[in-house]
Chain A
Amino acid sequence: MSLVDSPPAGPPVSSARATARLLGSELRLVFGRVRNIVLLVGLAAVPLLIGTVLFVTQDTPVAGQGPPFLDRVTGNGVFLVFAALVSCLPFLLPLCVSIVSGDAVAGEASAGTLRYLLVVPVPRTRLLLVKAVAALAYAAAAVTAIAGVGLVAGAAFFGVGDVVLLSGDTIPLAEGMLRTLGVVGYVVASLTGLVAVGLFLSTLTEVPVAAMAATVVVAIVSGVLDALPQLSAIHPALLTHHWLDFGEFLRLEVDASTLFAGLAVQAAWVAVFGALAWSRFTTADVSS
């Protein structure tokens, strides 16, 4: 007890402060990098693009054709959020998350800044956690950008109103907004497994592009395997299998067990690849 209490303003506080400072600088690094900002803007442009196309074509025979939710957008701008998310989930979102998480450690290593970073009085475990939090914050920002721009553009182009669920029942706009928040939260949570994979691959190499590409490949291969009916036995464990389960928020009764199944799979990927990244990062010799 005395051991814990006696140094009140000693190492724990300074260590916490050091961690906070590290997180701050890491966030600045991630969100300040021009490449990452361009990616965010690009993602945010997707709902704008879809909205404009739908607005221009809404009175032509091609209106109402296309991926899920697209035909609902002209009736209710809220659906632009879902249509944009469905469009971005298979490739654009994983790509952006892979670029940031794959760059996290390998980028510093290739720039020669990693060994200076390790001089900071923060243990490597915590450094890795800071990197993970920053990459996840970027993923959350990416999803929020799509949803936010989607909502604003949808409201501006088509107006918003009561939300018709997949079951055909109608709920008030306020509840629809709550469910939209749920969708955004679930999509962000769906990306945590990929962040962990990217972080691990990033600790393996000093070439950031290799880590980024490998992470994208993991997401795409997972999607390909998910499309093969012969492999249905392993589908539930695949990284991307539950990504579209966010549709659960648009059913009559939101079934928590369906959502929980998806989150549990993400937690499993985070646990395994987080542990792998930790083992690698805390044992690696850093020379550059």
Chain B
Amino acid sequence: MDTTRSLSPRARWAVPAVVAGAVAAAFAVPATMGAVASDELPAVTADELVERLAVAEKVPVSGTVVYTARLGLPDVTVSEIQGAGPLDLLGGSSTVRVWSDGEDSSRAALLGEVSEYSVVRDGPEAWTYSSADDEAVHYVVDPADLERYEALAQEGAEPPVDGDVPTPSEAAGLALAYARTTTDVTTTEPVEVAGRAAYQLEMRPQTDGTLVDRVLVAVDAETSVPLRTQVWSVQDAESPAIEVGFTDVSFDAPDLSVFDFSAPAGADVREVEVPLPEPGTLEQPSSDALGKDAGVAVSGTGWETVVELSDVDVDEILGATSEGRLPEGSTGSSGADDLFEELTESEDGELPGLPELDTQALYEQLTTEVDGGRLLTSALLSVLVTDDGRVLAGAVPPATLEELAG
């Protein structure tokens, strides 16, 4: 029992050092190990890979996704106070757990510290649920459109949800839609994502007139499921501006009860009927919400596209929020809508504990004064609000917008 006593005091003090070293090694080794033989994959060309993505059979996927945004926006996240919500996606890292049956049912849960924001889709209906304010929103396809939905469902259409949570597949789909225009598509060396060997597509805009430097999509070598999407900005060569990828993935079919959601007892439930978009129309922010006479014009093509809204009454929108809710869809982005909504939400007009948010101040914090208007810059998107009521937005340098605004 006294072997320890034979150790000299100096030897005894070596023990904690050894323990500390062993602990450090125990944490460091698993991170560097587990290199999958991704370099043994047979080579494919970019065209083959795009083709594989297009024809890939949809398979059930579940796992953990980490989403990181480095957009260079001022920190406006309020998840510490408000719990997890789509606002978290504006900056920093968020963890999302996803389940998909490979068909028309899926579930994504954005994890907060002791909160969660879920988006559950099951065929023609969808739910969002926020644990922080115990509110469920039930989206159903407009009954008039239900028949058309059934037909579209074969092609993978799903009801649109405000405040959606991104997954690598959706991000990749968006990037590929762009890839058809004015983009150089190549493949990089195979990579390893979530412990799986993956091919990687690289899409580079041919133009210099955009903030997007390149988009990388890692595609699982075996199942052709997109595992990771990165969007790199020209402003940051060190790390991607947006990255969404699996850290842990499984292709086993998830338990079907995961998709079976109903509002918990006691929760506030809002019912929303969503009409299906008419085939062939672009989704546009409804012009009533932006003030009378608002018009939409698009200039530039491909990566340089700039959307210009004219006759927008900014003061009216900012004023509207201090009175209550922002009209749905009025910012043209569900994330920004939720921002305003979350920050201005109150029950019975009272908001004890939370200071009243000054939307005007927030607007001034997010934007900077420029000649003839106010400018919001981020790593991937610029928005210019001119004094004469026009809003210009695009993935282009701010100077382009100012030039267009004249």
B109 touches A252 (CB 8 A): yes
Shortest B324–chain A CB gap in Å is 17
The answer to whether the Cβ of A6 comes within 8 Å of any Cβ in the partner chain is no
Confirm or deny: A283 has a beta carbon within 8 angstroms of a beta carbon on chain B: yes
Contact assessment for A251 and B111 in the assembled complex, using a CB-CB cutoff below 8 Å: yes
Please choose the segment from B131-139, B167-175, B218-226 that sits at the chain A interface, where 4 or more of its residues have CB less than 8 A away: B131-139
Determine whether B34 belongs to the interface, using a CB cutoff of 8 Å to chain A: no
Please tell me if A169 contacts chain B, counting CB pairs below 8 Å: yes
Q: Assess whether B248 is in contact with A257, with CB atoms less than 8 Å apart.
A: yes
Alpha-carbon distance between A257 and B12 when the two chains are bound, in angstroms: 34
CB of B323 closer than 8 Å to a CB of A: no
Q: For chains A and B in complex, what number of residue pairs have CB atoms within 8 angstroms?
A: 108
Interface: A279 (CB within 8 A):
yes
CA of A40 to CA of B72, assembled, Å: 47
* A276 contacts B16, C-beta separation under 8 Å: yes
| Nearest A residue to B247, CB-CB | A257
Known interface pairs A61-B350, A123-B2, A167-B131; A283-B13 also in contact (CB < 8 Å): yes
Q: What residues on A are CB-neighbors of B93 within 8 Å? A: 232
Question: Contacting A15 at CB < 8 Å: which of B1, B115, B263, B265?
Answer: B1
Chain A contacts for B4, CB-based, 8 A: 123, 125, 282
Instruction: Give, as a whole number of angstroms, the nearest-CB distance from B65 to chain A.
Output: 13
- Judging by beta carbons under 8 Å apart, are A272 and B116 in contact? no
Pick from A62-70, A93-101, A129-137 the stretch touching chain B.
A62-70
Please give me the residue from chain B that is nearest to A278 by CB atom. Answer: B15
Q: In the complex, what residues of A have CB within 8 A of residue B26's CB?
A: 268
Contact A164 B264 (CB under 8 A): yes
A229 is an interface residue with CB less than 8 A from chain B:
yes
A271 / chain B contacts, CB cutoff of 8 Å: 19, 22-23
Q: Contacts A123-B2, A283-B12 hold; do A61 and B353 have CB atoms under 8 A apart? A: no
* A275 pairs with B19, CB closer than 8 A: yes
User: Bound complex: CA of A229 vs CA of B4, how far in Å?
Assistant: 43
Residues of A within 8 A of B248 (CB): 257
Q: How far is the CB of B75 from chain A (nearest CB, A)?
A: 8
- 19 CB < 8 A contacts A-B: A15-B1, A64-B347, A66-B353, A72-B134, A75-B266, A125-B4, A168-B136, A169-B264, A237-B27, A250-B114, A251-B111, A252-B258, A271-B19, A272-B16, A272-B23, A278-B16, A279-B12, A279-B13, A283-B9
Instruction: Give residues in B with beta carbon < 8 Å to A.
Output: 1-2, 4-5, 9, 12-13, 15-16, 18-20, 22-23, 26-27, 64, 75, 83, 92-93, 97, 109, 111, 113-116, 118, 127, 129, 131-132, 134, 136, 248, 258, 261, 263-267, 347-348, 350, 352-354
Given contacts A61-B348, A275-B19, 8 further A-B contacts (CB under 8 A): A15-B1, A62-B353, A164-B264, A166-B131, A169-B264, A250-B114, A251-B109, A252-B258
